[in-house]
């Protein structure tokens, strides 16, 4: 039977691929955004500055603090990339989300499993680059390949998972290719590309490892699956993998998170503790209003947690680094972890 032998979770924020001296580029985007989620409600940037003035965030955004956090982030990324390579996997299953890269508004499923024999991994088009803000464009290198390529997919495992999760109550969407069309990318999106490029160097050191992307619609109403549903979905994915009659080594990966674009350390710590302690009650009780915008990507971690249930692997938090970039408390809380 297939054996799930490894699990990993990693943030994929543009800040991870941006020198700390340029984090202010994203802060400029934050100031223009009229709708920031914080404490379950929407606020303007100026409202956040006022709401959080007692936190003295100025101490979090000094050049020295940001530089140290950037350096620590890079060490963790390098470490996790090496751990994936050392795991000697046949397939890496990645739970990630899409932000209108491959999946547009004409058809936006809650769950989608990619079952293509090849995973298209391509550079960003000039047209899309031209529409990126400077703070996003400067970091784009970390989630695209040095040259267009096709990575090895895992269609047989994907189809086995699809059949099993459907039999157990999940009506997933399926795709075996990424179409070239206006306003969309024709290569796999950032949640997966960050793993392929920044962590795995365009798969150069793992040329025989297949990859299986699973999309969760964490971002976009009205059909965002709630946290408890993502947990249960992950469990079914894990069960399906473990009952597949194949002698292979499988890894599970979570991409994204933690709280952003406004950092909420209390939410992060509560959910990290729940993941570490297998505390499903806390996860199932978390209000959906706390899991909007980029913070919603925590659902990818909870799905991975579900998939790793029953493997005997335990979650180990490597580090949690709240990377603030403005007096409004905007930024991205980075999280790095392993299931050993």
Q: Is the pLDDT of residue 119 over 90?
A: yes
pLDDT at residue 226 above 90?
Answer: yes
Share of the chain above pLDDT 90, in %: 96
Distance from C-alpha of 252 to C-alpha of 9, rounded to nearest angstrom? 9
Task: Tell me the average pLDDT across 228-236.
Answer: 98
The pLDDT value recorded for residue 19 is: 98
pLDDT at 151 over 90: yes
Helix (H, G, I), strand (E, B) or coil at 116: coil
Q: Which two tokens stand for residue 226?
A: 């709630």
Of 300, 297, 285, 221, the C-alpha closest to 35 is 221
- Asked whether the predicted pLDDT for residue 182 surpasses 90, the reply is no
Rounding to the nearest 10 degrees, give the CA dihedral for residues 267, 269, 272, 276: -140
What pLDDT is attached to residue 231?
98
The SS3 assignment for 47 reads helix
Could you give all domains of the chain from N- to C-terminal order, each with its CATH number?
3-248+259-339 (3.40.830.10)
Strands 118-121 and 3-10: unpaired
Q: Dihedral sign, CA of 140, 146, 148, 153?
A: negative
């Amino acid at each position: 039977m297939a054996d799930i032998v490894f699990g990993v979770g990693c943030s994929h924020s543009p800040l991870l691929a941006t020198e700390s001296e340029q984090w202010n580029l994203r802060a400029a985007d934050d100031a223009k955004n009229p709708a920031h989620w914080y404490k379950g409600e929407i606020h303007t940037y100026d409202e956040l500055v006022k709401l959080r003035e007692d936190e003295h965030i100025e101490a979090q955004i000094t050049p020295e603090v940001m530089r140290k956090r950037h350096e620590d982030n890079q060490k963790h990324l390098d470490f996790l990339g090496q751990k994936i390579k050392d795991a000697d996997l046949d397939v890496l299953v990645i739970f990630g989300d899409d932000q209108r890269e491959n999946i547009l508004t004409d058809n936006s499923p809650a769950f989608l499993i990619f079952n293509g024999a090849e995973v298209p991994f391509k550079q960003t088009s000039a047209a899309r680059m031209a529409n990126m803000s400077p703070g996003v464009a400067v970091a784009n290198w970390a989630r695209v390949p040095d040259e267009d390529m096709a990575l090895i997919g895992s269609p047989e495992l994907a189809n086995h998972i699809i059949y099993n999760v459907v039999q157990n109550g999940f009506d997933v969407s399926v795709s075996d290719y990424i179409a070239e069309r206006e306003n969309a990318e024709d290569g796999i999106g950032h949640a997966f590309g960050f793993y392929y490029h920044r962590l795995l160097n365009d798969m150069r050191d793992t040329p025989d490892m297949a990859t299986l992307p699973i999309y969760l619609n964490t971002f976009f109403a009205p059909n965002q699956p709630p946290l408890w549903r993502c947990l249960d979905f992950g469990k079914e994915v894990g069960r399906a993998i473990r009952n597949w009659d194949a002698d292979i080594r499988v890894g599970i990966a979570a991409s994204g998170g933690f709280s952003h674009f406004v950092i909420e350390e209390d939410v992060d710590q509560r959910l990290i503790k729940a993941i570490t302690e297998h505390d499903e009650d806390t996860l199932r009780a978390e209000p959906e209003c706390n899991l909007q915008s980029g913070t919603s990507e925590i659902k990818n971690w909870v799905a991975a947690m579900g998939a790793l249930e029953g493997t005997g692997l335990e979650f180990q938090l490597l580090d949690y680094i709240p990377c603030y970039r403005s007096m409004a408390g905007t930024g991205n809380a980075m999280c790095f972890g392993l299931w050993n």
